[in-house]
Amino acid sequence: MNGPTLALCSSCGIGIRREPTVWRGSGPRPSLLGTLDHPRETREGLRELYAAAVGTKNSDHYLAKFALFDHERRTSAGWHWPAFFVTFAWLVHRKMWGKAALYFLLPYVVFVPVVLLGPTMPLAVAIGCFAYLLGIFILPPLLADATYYRHCERVIEHARAVNRSQEGQLVLVAREGGTSGIVPFIVGLVAIAMLAGTVSAVALPAYQDYTARMKAKQVAIAGDPQSAGRVSTAD
């Protein structure tokens, strides 16, 4: 009997054509290994597609994880330090644009009910904020590898749907996958914003204090020359 990962029939040696199947949610989710439909699309062929989807950066880590997920036909939780320390930058770096946007906007979405319900339901809001902070710091690194695996699968499935050749699929996957060079630009903008905020926090109060002192001195000089002398001495 031919297993789901065999590219050739075990009896006659003829290539087996497999049509992609849609997962209905019952049992383990089928991996791409179960939907290969060309004799060349063996484990090595799939590895080439995964390598193109991941790119050259940290590829050994991801390819090892993907091979494990394919072998077990399911994903599992792990720990991913970049997704813990720089979650948003990691999502952008790996071109998971939708999830990056959700991660960026989620604090603002949570802020609205906190403001509205805070005065009337302080305990519930406190519990909700704690759960939110726990989730936003713990869930991304725990599910990062599995999330990226599903992302790469979708990129590969899209390439396979529009191009039947391995070479054409590799070109499409490399174009849609890989990493983004926008992260250094974002990091630079954040650094500039933080520097500007720090300078403003220090300089603005000092400027306001200086302005107030100058106005007080001008009033004293205009109203009472003796008071102006006292203000000058105090300075």
- pLDDT tens column, 197-207: 667 666 667 77
DSSP 34: G
> Which structure tokens are listed for 13?
């040696």
Looking at the structure, tell me whether residues 214 and 149 fall in a common domain: no
Q: Where are the beta strands (DSSP E) in 100-167?
A: none
Domain-embedded: residue 228: yes
Domain-embedded: residue 77: yes
Looking at the structure, tell me whether residues 201 and 144 fall in a common domain: no
Looking at the structure, tell me whether residues 173 and 216 fall in a common domain: no
Q: What's the CA dihedral at 64, 69, 75, 80 to 10 degrees? A: 0
Instruction: Lowest mean pLDDT of 1-10, 77-86, 88-97, name the range.
Output: 1-10
What is the domain extent for residue 211? 195-234
Domain-embedded: residue 223: yes
Looking at the structure, tell me whether residues 201 and 172 fall in a common domain: no
Average confidence (pLDDT) over 146-164: 93
Q: How many whole angstroms separate alpha carbon 150 and alpha carbon 53?
A: 11
Domain-embedded: residue 148: yes
Looking at the structure, tell me whether residues 129 and 160 fall in a common domain: yes
Residue 80 DSSP SS3: coil
Which one is predicted more confidently, 68 or 191?
68
Looking at the structure, tell me whether residues 144 and 201 fall in a common domain: no
Instruction: Lowest mean pLDDT of 67-76, 93-102, 134-143, name the range.
Output: 67-76
Looking at the structure, tell me whether residues 126 and 222 fall in a common domain: no
Number of domains in the chain: 2
147 with 76: CB under 8 angstroms? no
Domain-embedded: residue 117: yes
Which one is predicted more confidently, 175 or 233?
175
Looking at the structure, tell me whether residues 225 and 141 fall in a common domain: no
Average confidence (pLDDT) over 54-79: 91
Position 154 scores a pLDDT of 94
Average confidence (pLDDT) over 18-41: 50
66 with 48: CB under 8 angstroms? no
